[in-house]
């Protein structure tokens, strides 16, 4: 084994793929299968929200945008391009990272729902996570990777097992590293039958922890949601789900009485900045790749590429 990756969320799987497709023998060891990770709960529209630092996430995000835009042409990947708008009842400029999006434009007043005064319209890739995670898992194994379902009790337990170890444990890095600067931002969402909505919608000015968004995924639509800081509860709360549906139906009446198909909760791994750095470890190297907040799907390919380039570089310390 050349590399051991801890975690099979979107960051662990893309890192595993990147290393395996570069020719390394890679094992992913994970406490939970991909479909039971935070990644499985994501919306998952490309965007660099609740994440930093800006100068690094722009580069990673650019790579993520390029890769997922290409994946939208592969039906098996579960990625498509979707148009829609982010709106506010207050003066609000497009975020710094929207400059990466071709075709971004400000909305005319006529395009905004009642009560909203500002907004911008764009097109971006969106992943249907259950399908996308299965695509990533299959691509990883097709590249020769092995996926093992077993928790890592401590980093010391895996020191020396492989020359390269990558820690993609998401919010659980808090205990595994340990890193007290990472914590959960709980997100609950509802999956409903799509009554014919084709554009995404995000309202940016609801009172925390609420955020109103709707992400169409073909026959289904994902309704959000919450940003609950410091909350670890992974069970969907019926009262929150009811309020999510009511918020969405107030914006788009087609959602009144929509059939509810499921509920999901994820713990966004929030940290003041993504931790992407290496340290000596068991005679080899340990890369940390966690803390992607509300943008892990968007950043994962860029972070994976940075690690793979460093691992393959001629002067890489682990190789010597
Ligand atoms: C409601 C919601 C909506 C979101 N929307 C978007 C969006 O629109 N766009 C976007 O880009 N992002 C979005 N995100 C954020 C995104 O989901 C996360 O940033 C991303 O999933 C983090 O991925 P990860 O692989 O780091 O962590 P996770 O998905 O949490 O995976 C961590 C993995 O590590 C494993 N693990 C942990 N500890 C151990 C251990 N000790 N031993 C072995 N394995 C271990 C876990 O089992 C798991 O497999 C959203 C998140 C939520 C909750």
DSSP 248-259: HHHH-GGGTTPP
Residues 224, 213: Cα–Cα separation, whole Å: 5
Closest atom of ligand 1 relative to the 48 alpha carbon = 11
* SS3 at position 21: helix
Residues 121, 194: Cα–Cα separation, whole Å: 21
Residues lining ligand 1, CB < 6 A?
6-12, 29-32, 37-39, 41-45, 47, 151-152, 168-170, 172, 176, 187, 189, 224-225, 266, 268-269, 290, 292-298
- Compute, in angstroms, the gap from residue 38 CA to the centroid of ligand 1: 4
Residue position matching structure tokens 């194994």 = 141
**pLDDT tens, 48-59?**
999 999 999 999
Q: Answer yes or no: is pLDDT of 318 > 80.
A: no
**pLDDT tens, 184-234?**
999 999 999 999 999 999 998 888 899 999 999 999 999 999 999 999 999
Residues 77, 72: Cα–Cα separation, whole Å: 7
Q: Whose CA is nearest to atom 41 of ligand 1?
A: 152
What residues contact 49, with CB distance under 8 A and at least 6 apart? 95, 293, 294, 295
Q: What does the block give as tokens for 5?
A: 């990756």
- Compute, in angstroms, the gap from residue 164 CA to the centroid of ligand 1: 21
Q: Whose CA is nearest to atom 20 of ligand 1?
A: 296
Q: How far is CA 105 from CA 84, 102, 202, in A?
A: 11, 9, 15
**CA angle 39–137–230, rounded 5-degree value:** 15
Q: In the structure, what pLDDT confidence band is assigned to residue 154 with cuts at 50, 70 and 90?
A: very high
What DSSP designation does 144 have? T
- Compute, in angstroms, the gap from residue 269 CA to the centroid of ligand 1: 7
CA within 13 Å, CB half, 146: 11
CB 9 within 8 A of CB 296: yes
Model pLDDT, residue 320 = 39
Instruction: Average the pLDDT over 265-274 and give the result.
Output: 98
**pLDDT tens, 35-85?**
999 999 999 999 999 999 999 999 999 999 999 999 999 999 999 999 999
What residues contact 91, with CB distance under 8 A and at least 6 apart? 117, 118
Q: How far is CA 30 from the centre of its chain?
A: 17
């Amino acid at each position: 084994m050349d590399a051991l990756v801890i975690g099979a969320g979107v960051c662990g799987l893309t890192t595993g793929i990147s290393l395996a497709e570069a020719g390394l023998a890679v094992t992913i060891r994970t406490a939970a299968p991909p479909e039971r990770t935070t990644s499985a709960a994501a919306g998952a529209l490309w965007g660099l929200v609740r994440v930093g630092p800006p100068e690094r996430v722009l580069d990673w995000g650019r790579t993520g945008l390029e890769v997922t835009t290409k994946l939208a042409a592969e039906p098996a990947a579960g990625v498509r391009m979707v148009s829609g708008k982010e709106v506010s009842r207050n003066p609000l400029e497009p975020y710094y990272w929207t400059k990466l999006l071709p075709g971004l434009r400000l909305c005319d007043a006529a395009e905004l729902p009642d009560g909203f005064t500002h907004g911008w319209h764009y097109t971006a890739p969106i992943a249907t996570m259950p399908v996308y995670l299965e695509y990533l898992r299959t691509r990883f194994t097709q590249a020769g990777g092995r996926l093992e379902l077993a928790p890592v009790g401590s980093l010391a337990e895996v020191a020396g097992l492989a020359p390269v170890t990558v820690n993609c444990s998401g919010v659980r890095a808090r205990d595994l590293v340990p890193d007290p600067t990472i914590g959960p931002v709980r997100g609950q969402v509802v999956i409903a039958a799509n009554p014919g909505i084709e554009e995404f919608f995000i309202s940016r000015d609801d009172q925390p922890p609420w955020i109103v968004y709707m992400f169409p995924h073909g026959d289904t639509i994902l309704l959000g949601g919450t940003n609950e800081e410091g909350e670890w509860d992974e069970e969907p709360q019926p009262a929150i789900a009811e309020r999510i549906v009511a918020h969405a139906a107030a914006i788009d009446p087609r959602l009144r009485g929509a059939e509810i198909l499921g509920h999901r909760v994820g713990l966004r791994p929030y940290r003041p900045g993504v931790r992407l750095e290496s340290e000596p470890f068991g005679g080899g190297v340990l890369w940390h790749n966690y803390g992607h907040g509300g943008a892990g799907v968007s950043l994962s390919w860029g972070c994976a590429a940075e690690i793979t380039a460093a691992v393959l570089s001629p002067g890489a310390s682990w190789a010597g």
